[in-house]
Amino acid sequence: MTIKELKSQFLEYLEIEKGRSQKTIENYNHYLDHFLHWSKISDPQDITDELARNYRIYLNRVKTREGVSLKKNTQNYYIIALRSFLKYLAKRDFQTLAAEKVEIGKVSRREVDFLEADEVERILNAADGGDFKGLRDRAILELLFSAGLRVSELTNLNRDKINLAKQEFTVRGKGDKLRVVFLSDTAKKSLERYLDKRTDIDPALFVQDTKVLEKFRPKADQPRVGKENIKTESYRLTPRTVQRIVKHYAVKAGIVKDVHPHTLRHSFATDLLINGADIRSVQAMLGHSSITTTQIYTHITNQQLRDVHKAFHGRRRKK
């Protein structure tokens, strides 16, 4: 069995046994194809300690078409895919390099972009229209900030999963993990106003403007042939569309930062910590499997420490 065949079986294993998303499988396929193209190996035994070390050196020195080096975290994505593949090979008793011998490079702690409280209000209030699109977009922004959702989690939501009475619902996040998220009062009101405008039967929570798309639906007495049959699928919004919506209202609100849906997720976590939430609770609400991931928000703690320092340090010297 060739290593390319084993790679294909590994991707099937990720899909069936591990329940990984299609996007994750596509990424692993890309990273492993890159490794196999570079190494030109044909057997798991060909993956040696020296080969892995040379691959890490290659990733650190290679340039993109634009002449830019790969970021450290991007390099790690390639290495993580290789390590996962090695663990799979070991699980199937193939002789190859132990995954633990391939180290993941250290990366500097990244800074988190988030919105200040007044900026959050500005971007939410920018979506002030009373038509279908305006109400939908306000509900999207409110929900991203209220529940701290990833954009993929938001676009995968269905109407029947939202419990407006309890102001909570369950989402399926990374690694197919379920977690409970909560709605603020304003998010609940925005969703109610938006859902009152829905006259379609599409199960998706957030859809394209059904009034605009109505012209694409075949008439009752019209035969469904050719291209007219392609508009029978869901009108569910895509993550890319939500990204454009968020950017549109950030510009409309006069916010100069580069705002993405994830910026509102960061702002959600920041808001909780500033108001006294403990980091373990924030970890649970964000759906992080490791507390280390949540610790990127320690800039909040640092800000609070600075305020304490300013308020209490050197007070006797001021007398």
Please identify every residue annotated as catalytic.
150, 174, 262, 265, 288, 297
Query: What would the DSSP string read from start to end of 26-70?
Result: HHHHHHHHHHHHHH---SGGG--HHHHHHHHHHHHH-B-TTS-BP
Structure tokens given for 38: 């570079």
**Cβ atoms of residues 110 and 71 within 8 Å:** no
**Cβ atoms of residues 205 and 242 within 8 Å:** no
3-state secondary structure 163-220: ECCCCEEEEECHHHCEEEEECCHHHHHHHHHHHHCCCCCCCECCECCHHHHHHHCCCC
Nearest CA-CA partner of 52 in 75, 70, 21, 22: 75
Determine the Cα–Cα distance for residues 264 and 249; give it in Å rounded to an integer. Answer: 12
At residue 37, what is the residue type?
Answer: H
- Torsion sign (Cα): 118, 281, 293, 149: negative
Determine the Cα–Cα distance for residues 13 and 32; give it in Å rounded to an integer. Answer: 15
Nearest CA-CA partner of 175 in 8, 2, 24: 24
Nearest CA-CA partner of 123 in 256, 262, 271, 255: 255
Determine the Cα–Cα distance for residues 4 and 10; give it in Å rounded to an integer. Answer: 10
Determine the Cα–Cα distance for residues 293 and 287; give it in Å rounded to an integer. Answer: 10
Q: Give the H or E element holding residue 74.
A: helix 72-91
